[in-house]
């Protein structure tokens, strides 16, 4: 009796799997049978990315904001994400408490003026965190 590679698959699938893993076993070449499955090469350290970020989506701090402002705005947005806009200060306070926001976030909401807010950018502006300037 001839011994096959596994009891789960037929001889054809066993041969296909053997072919796909041959490169890994020998330590040279690919482990994939199809070229489209190959991972793309990463740029070398210090080398520019082959795909630059689209305009306005570059990493870093947007023009018109500070790193601290970006971080605070991000924290606020995280805890107030389910808010239905426009919202009042009391609605934002309730939302922060319901979502279990940490004390620094609740303190920021408490420091807001008593008025309505259209969106997170409006909240950030009221707190003096800055708003990114768009280049069109």
Query: What is the sign, positive or negative, of the torsion defined by CA atoms of 119, 121, 125, 128?
Result: positive
In-domain check, residue 86 = yes
In-domain check, residue 81 = yes
**Closest among 100, 96, 132, 98 to 111, alpha carbons compared:** 96
In-domain check, residue 83 = yes
CA distance 82 to 120: 11
Determine the 3-state secondary structure of 116 from DSSP: strand
- Per-residue pLDDT tens over the stretch 59-87: 666 666 677 777 888 888 888 888 888 99
Q: Please report the pLDDT score of residue 115 as a whole number.
A: 92
CA distance 35 to 29: 11
In-domain check, residue 27 = no
Which has the higher per-residue pLDDT, 45 or 116? Answer: 116
Q: Please report the pLDDT score of residue 68 as a whole number.
A: 77
In-domain check, residue 35 = no
- Per-residue pLDDT tens over the stretch 103-134: 888 999 999 999 999 988 888 888 888 766 66
Can you give the residue range of the structural domain that contains 84? 67-126
In-domain check, residue 62 = no
CA distance 33 to 4: 21
Q: Please report the pLDDT score of residue 125 as a whole number.
A: 85
In-domain check, residue 38 = no
* Domains held by the chain: number: 1
Q: Please report the pLDDT score of residue 12 as a whole number.
A: 83
Q: What is the pTM of this model?
A: 0.52
């Amino acid at each position: 009796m001839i011994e096959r590679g596994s009891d789960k698959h037929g001889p054809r699938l066993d041969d296909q799997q053997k072919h796909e893993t041959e490169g890994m076993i020998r330590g040279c070449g690919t482990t994939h049978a199809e070229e489209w499955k190959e991972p793309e090469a990463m740029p070398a350290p210090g080398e520019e990315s082959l795909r630059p970020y689209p305009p306005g989506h570059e990493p870093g701090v947007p023009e018109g904001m500070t790193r601290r402002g970006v971080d605070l705005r991000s924290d606020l947005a995280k805890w107030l994400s389910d808010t239905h806009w426009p919202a009042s200060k009391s609605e934002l306070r309730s939302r922060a408490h319901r979502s279990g926001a940490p004390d620094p976030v609740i303190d920021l909401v408490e420091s807001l003026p008593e008025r309505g807010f259209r969106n997170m950018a409006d909240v950030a502006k009221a707190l003096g965190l800055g708003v990114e300037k768009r280049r069109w």
